[in-house]
Amino acid sequence: MNSIDLAGIDWLGRGWLLILAFTAAVLVVAPLRRPCRRLFGAECAFQLWLLLPLAMLASQLPHVAAEPITVLPPVVLRITSAAAAFPSHASGAMAIDWRASVVLVWLAGSVVTLLLSTLAQSRYRARLRGAMPVVDVSSRWPVLRAAGVDVGPALVGAWRVCIVLPADFEQRYDTTERALILAHETTHARRRDGWWCLLAQAVVAILWFHPLVRWTFLALRHDQELACDAAVLREHSVQRRSYANAMLKTQSAALALPVGCTWSPRHPITERIAMLKLSSPNRSRRLIGIAIVCTAIAGFTGAIYAMNQPAIKSKSDASAKQVFQLAMNLSQGSETLGTPTVCVKTGEPASISLGDDNGKPRWTFDLMVKPLTAAVVQVDIKGSVHTFDGRAIDFHPTLRGSFNSPMAVKVDDEKGGAPSILTITPTRSCAAANSAASV
């Protein structure tokens, strides 16, 4: 098993935890959005979405006591007369393992998703060519008037953001409506909602294949708009009718804006207008809601982190050692020198002797097994080759691979003879009796 295959195993293990954390977080947030919005306001409900990135991050955090697992480069040992090299990968399995293929497909889908989002963002920004700065608006962020009437109002970008207004902004909206639209887009900028959109796009790119990711993206953007509406109306509560009129006068966004917030996006505008009829929660209810949401997020994230860590074993469990089976095969050319099967306990060496002294090398191995993860195992070999001329040459390759998959050491004869191949297949249980073969 080569380093690409081992990397594929590790990536899939981490990816599976990421998928589980995302799915669990969505299943928690989805039923709580509407009750939280009704009880504590849309701003508090939008904070529930913090659970997704925090849970995904918690699923990837390593345990403080965990030993890092590294993929070893090929180990090459020179043997002057009997052999030339001992690479630590399977000589007969050079093809990429299926797990590595899955990882490559996953990465390819993520790259394509990012490219499509980048293309959509570029198309929207291309429509801003010819936009002119609006100088009579007081704002911390640049305000541009687009050349067309079908672009804006919107907040565009995550860093170096700008507020975009349509060409007929003054003609389409009255003074109050214009002030409310500017307040809405300014609130988006103040809340750093562009960064939320960028984070959402990153999650979509990572989990592009997940059946819930598209719904999650749309639901988050919808809650984002409702939260921004609530923040604006908290300061302009007497102007709800003008706020609704401004929504109705704005066309749905013609182009997608992956990183940014449009005033009238592709969200159900009827629900946004219906929310305007509800009274805003008072400060006490909002603070209670924030406290409840933060506590729930911290508790759930901690649970995800705890589930990702190895269970703490009792002293009796720790003292009990696992038993593994190593099925071996040593061959030279078409001739099989030995096929022993040995049971090995974790941390205890098992000795094997193969070959003969009549013109052929004699092989002696001390094997040590160490499970690295639920799927990956390491076999340390301390071996010697006793050559026909009486010399003993030591070698110490380390093999890493998955359970039930063969790992091989190939030894080439410097004098042009047939190479020798030692194949080891580890399994978690040992059906064979503890034995050592001598041929």
Q: In which band, very low, low, confident or very high, does the pLDDT at 63 lie, cut at 50, 70 and 90?
A: low
User: Does residue 203 register a pLDDT over 80?
Assistant: yes
Q: What is the pLDDT of residues 341-365, one digit of tens each?
A: 888 888 788 888 776 555 566 778 8
Q: What is the pLDDT of residues 68-108, one digit of tens each?
A: 444 444 333 334 344 333 333 333 333 445 777 888 899 99
Q: What is the mean pLDDT of the chain?
A: 79
The model carries a pTM of 0.66
For the ranges 83-92, 242-251, 285-294, the lowest mean pLDDT is seen at 83-92
Q: What is the pLDDT of residues 291-333, one digit of tens each?
A: 999 999 999 999 988 887 654 444 444 445 688 888 888 777 7
Tell me what pLDDT residue 174 has: 93
User: Does residue 433 register a pLDDT over 50?
Assistant: no
Q: What is the pLDDT of residues 363-420, one digit of tens each?
A: 788 888 888 877 788 888 887 777 666 666 677 788 888 888 888 877 665 555 667 7
Tell me what pLDDT residue 172 has: 92
Tell me what pLDDT residue 12 has: 72
Tell me what pLDDT residue 173 has: 93
User: Does residue 121 register a pLDDT over 90?
Assistant: yes
Tell me what pLDDT residue 165 has: 93
Which residues have CB under 8 Å from 169's CB, separation 6+? 145, 152, 153, 178
Tally the C-alpha atoms within 13 A of residue 227's C-alpha that lie toward its C-beta.
27
Tell me what pLDDT residue 71 has: 43
Tell me what pLDDT residue 214 has: 93
High-pLDDT (> 70) share of the chain, %: 78
Tell me what pLDDT residue 405 has: 83
Tell me what pLDDT residue 104 has: 87
